[in-house]
Amino acid sequence: MARELNGQTIAFLVADEGVEEVEMTEPWKAVEEAGGTPELISQEGGSVQAFNHLDKSKTYDADRGLDDADPSRYDGLVLPGGVANPDMLRADPRAVEFVKAFFTDERPVAAICHGPWTLVEADVLKGRTMTSWPSLQTDIRNAGGTWVDETVHVDGVLVSSRKPDDLPAFCEQMLEQFAAHGSRTASPGSRSGG
Amino acid sequence: MARELNGQTIAFLVADEGVEEVEMTEPWKAVEEAGGTPELISQEGGSVQAFNHLDKSKTYDADRGLDDADPSRYDGLVLPGGVANPDMLRADPRAVEFVKAFFTDERPVAAICHGPWTLVEADVLKGRTMTSWPSLQTDIRNAGGTWVDETVHVDGVLVSSRKPDDLPAFCEQMLEQFAAHGSRTASPGSRSGG
C-alpha cells in the first residue's frame, strides 16, 4: 500500500522538556522515510530535553516555538509521550489551541503513551475511542472518550498507541492516515509519484 | 491552637520512583514536630527514588510496601506530588484502594501538586472542592470536583495545595485537620498533653 508523504509537513509538538525520546525519534524517522517533512515545535522553540523514562537523554533543537507555529501549515500532528511532556503542554494555552486546530478540520493526529493528555485538555475526545498509557484511561473516559487496551487504535483521523513497544504498529497506522488524508499544501501533481 | 498529634500515625503514600522530594520531606518534618509518627509506604516497600522537579535526588527507605499496609492503621494520609509519582500510583490498584479507605470513613487526606491524580483515580472527588498543580484542573473537574486556584484549600477532611511554594500553608492546614480528627488508635488519655 502506498504511503507517499511527498509534499506533506508533519508537526511534532513537544514541551521544552520531558518528551520520551524514542516516541519522538521513531515516528520522525518514519515520516522522513515516507518522504514527508517532520518539523519539531516546542513551547519556546529552543533546546528540547528528551528523556528515556525518568532519565535525561539528549537534547534536540526545535524548528520553531509555539508563538511562530501556524497549525494550518501542517498536514498532520504527532504527540509523543513522556509523563512530564504533555503535563507541561496541556498547561500551555498555545499548545492546546494548536492541537484543537487539527480536529476542527479533521487532519490526522497520532498520539502515543502520555501524549493524549493534551487531547483531554483540548476537549476533543467526546465520542472518540482511543488507547494510551494505561494511567490515562480514567482521564480519557472522564473527558467523554472510550478507552481501549490495544497496540494501536484508529478512530477516524486519530491514531493512538500505549507505549514504546507499540511504535512499529503506531508508525505504520500513522503513515496510513497521513497518506490517506494527503497534503493540503502541495499541488496535486506533486503527489503522483506513488 | 493546639496541633498535638501524639499517638497519631500518618501514612505518606508514594510510588517507588518520582516523588517530589520537598513535598514528602517538609510535611514529614511537620508531622514529627507535632508529635505524630509518619510512615513511608511505597508500592514495593524498598528504596524510593525522590526527584527535584525532573532531576533525581536522594533515595529513601520505605517503612513498608502496599502489600503490607493496612489503611485502617493510619489516622491520616499525605499524598505528595512529582509528576511521575501519582502517575504510577494511580495505575496500581493497591494504591487506589488504600486511598479510598480514608474517604470511606472520612479520615483526613492532604494532597499537593500532582498528588491529587490518585484521588481522581479513586473517584472520590464528586462534590468536593480542591486545588492542585494547575495541569490537573481539567482532570479534577472531569472527575466531578470543583477546582480552585488557592495556596491551600480545605474541604472537610481534604486539604490541598498547588506546589512546593505552598508548603508552609499546606503543612499548617494539614496539621489542623489531623489534630481536629484525632487518633483512632491511641487511648483518650494519651492525647491529654495538649
Is B9-181 CATH 3.20.20.70? no
CA distance B40 to A47: 37
CB atoms A135 and B54 under 8 Å:
no
Indicate whether B59 pLDDT > 70: yes
Give the number of beta-carbon pairs within 8 Å between A and B.
53
Q: pTM here? A: 0.94
Residues of B within 8 A of A88 (CB-CB) are 135
What average pLDDT values come out for chain A (194 residues) when binned by 10 residues? 80 98 98 97 98 98 98 98 98 98 97 98 98 98 98 98 98 97 60 38
E runs forming strands in B116-168: 129-130, 146-147, 152-155, 158-161
In this prediction, residue B194 carries a pLDDT of: 35
Q: How far is the CA of A42 from the CAs of A48, A86, B83, B87, B178, in angstroms?
A: 7, 11, 19, 23, 43
Domain ranges for chain A, please list them: 9-181
Q: What percent of chain A has pLDDT over 90?
A: 90
Which residue of A lies nearest to B53 if distances are taken between CA atoms?
A84
What's the rounded mean pLDDT across residues B45-69? 98
Rounded to two decimals, the ipTM of the complex is: 0.93
pLDDT tens column, B130-189: 999 999 999 999 999 999 999 999 999 999 999 999 999 999 999 999 999 988 654 444
Residue B125 clears pLDDT 70, i.e. is over it: yes
B20 touches chain A (CB under 8 A): no
| A8-39 tens-digit pLDDT | 999 999 999 999 999 999 999 999 999 999 99
